[in-house]
Amino acid sequence: MTAVTGPSFERIHNALLPVSGEPAGRGAWTTFLCPAHDDNQPSAAIKYDPDQHRTVVRCFAGCPDTLVLESLGLSVGDLFDNPVSGTRPHASPLRDGQLRPRRNSSLTTQRKRRSLGKQIGWPVEVAQYVYHDIEGRRIGRVIRTSTEHERGKAKGFYLRRFESLTDTWPLGAFAPVLYRLPQIANALGAGQAIWVCEGEKDVDRAADLGLAATCNALGAGSFTSAHAEQLAGARAVVIVADRDPAGYAHADTVRSLLRPLVGQVLILQARDGKDLSEHLDAGHTLEDLEPCLELGYHGIGGADIGDLIELPSPTADLAAIDSQLQRLLACVDTPESRPSTAESTAAIRRARWGDSTTGLDVHTDTGAEL
């Protein structure tokens, strides 16, 4: 028996085909590679609701429905067979109070399914990355998986949010905070340059080298104005772009959102390999990173990059850190947990980073809370 569909289903289905390839499964849900993030394991799905004459779109890795639609050049109205003026999507944890990033269409290319052949194994978890709010409380985690295929392995990602009342990790998106947010707040107060990578693996490699590094959950296509606001006031931001069309588009979006908020933005890329990890694995140093010619950066030398590789000041400006805490708390915390006085902000600072005027006791996230 052929499933009943309508104009909205055909519209979205046809928009997905050239971007994500043929669907991986049919039934109640028709599944595709998600066009809104680097997806090697189909996590986007659509199904038709004949009672409401509309199509339902979901990314089970956590991308907002509206971001999936925007990645296809569609709007919420396209979900309906007969679009209704003023229709709005259901609220999403990653959308409330945010604007979507501007996209550079000249850098966005169609995504084709990788020719890995038939899947021959189950997804295996290979890494977990815990996200914290400004006070160090767990709020969610990104789980990375690897699935064996006939001609290689496919990586995948999905999200779990932390429910403090039940101490559980149900599937689903969490608030749009930056990875390693407490450490980033510390670095901003100390005047350190911030390094933005595309994924948590690269961030951890950069952090091991002493850099103040961060990223957003789900990588390319998921950096929002809410993430950008958490870096406002930075002296300099170094974006390390993945060396592929999706990576360049992501870096350009991050740059566009940060330009009004920070002092300097520089985009670098690997000399060899796709990303920072592969660059380092090839034996190169941070000074060997190259300017991203594809995005208009020319003529920067190793000495200039070296100026952006520094440890926190031995005499950190605690007043600046307190100010940064107040602003970040306003960006990502709930009113109930937000400090209302300078004393409460100082208490958070002491609890997280110490109260020495000769240096900061930086909190390190070991992931041991998993």
What the block records as the tokens of 213 is 């590094």
Q: Report if residue 59 sits inside a domain.
A: yes
* Higher pLDDT among residues 68 and 96, named by residue: 68
Confidence class for position 55, pLDDT limits 50, 70, 90: very high
Task: Outline where the chain has alpha helix (H).
Answer: 7-20, 65-71, 181-189, 200-208, 225-229, 245-258, 276-281, 302-306, 318-332, 342-353
Q: What is the pLDDT of residues 175-233, one digit of tens each?
A: 999 999 999 999 999 999 999 999 999 999 999 999 999 999 999 889 999 999 999 99
Residue 366 has pLDDT above 80, yes or no: no
Q: Report if residue 232 sits inside a domain.
A: no
Instruction: Report the number of distinct structural domains present in the chain.
Output: 1
Residue whose structure tokens are 């028709």: 30
Q: What is the pLDDT of residues 117-168, one digit of tens each?
A: 778 888 889 999 999 999 999 999 999 998 888 878 888 888 999 999 999 9
Confidence (pLDDT) at 63: 78
Q: Hey, which residues does 202 pair with through a beta bridge?
A: none
- Say how far apart CA 274 and CA 243 lie, in whole Å: 5
Q: Hey, which residues does 154 pair with through a beta bridge?
A: 147
Backbone angles phi, psi at 56, to 5 degrees: -100, 130
Q: Report if residue 92 sits inside a domain.
A: yes
Q: Report if residue 353 sits inside a domain.
A: no
Domain, as residue range, for 14: 7-107
What the block records as the tokens of 142 is 């990104």
175-179, 215-219, 243-247, 253-257: which has the minimum mean pLDDT?
243-247
Q: Report if residue 117 sits inside a domain.
A: no
In the chain, count H helices and then E strands.
10, 11
What the block records as the tokens of 233 is 């006031």
2-6, 87-91, 236-240, 317-321: which has the minimum mean pLDDT?
87-91
Q: Report if residue 148 sits inside a domain.
A: no
Q: Report if residue 70 sits inside a domain.
A: yes
Asked whether 69 and 57 are in contact (CB, 8 A), the reply is: yes
Q: Is 228 helix (H, G, I), strand (E, B) or coil?
A: helix
Q: Report if residue 87 sits inside a domain.
A: yes
Question: How far lies 24's CA from each of 28, 46, 188, in Å?
Answer: 13, 12, 44
Residue 87 has pLDDT above 80, yes or no: no
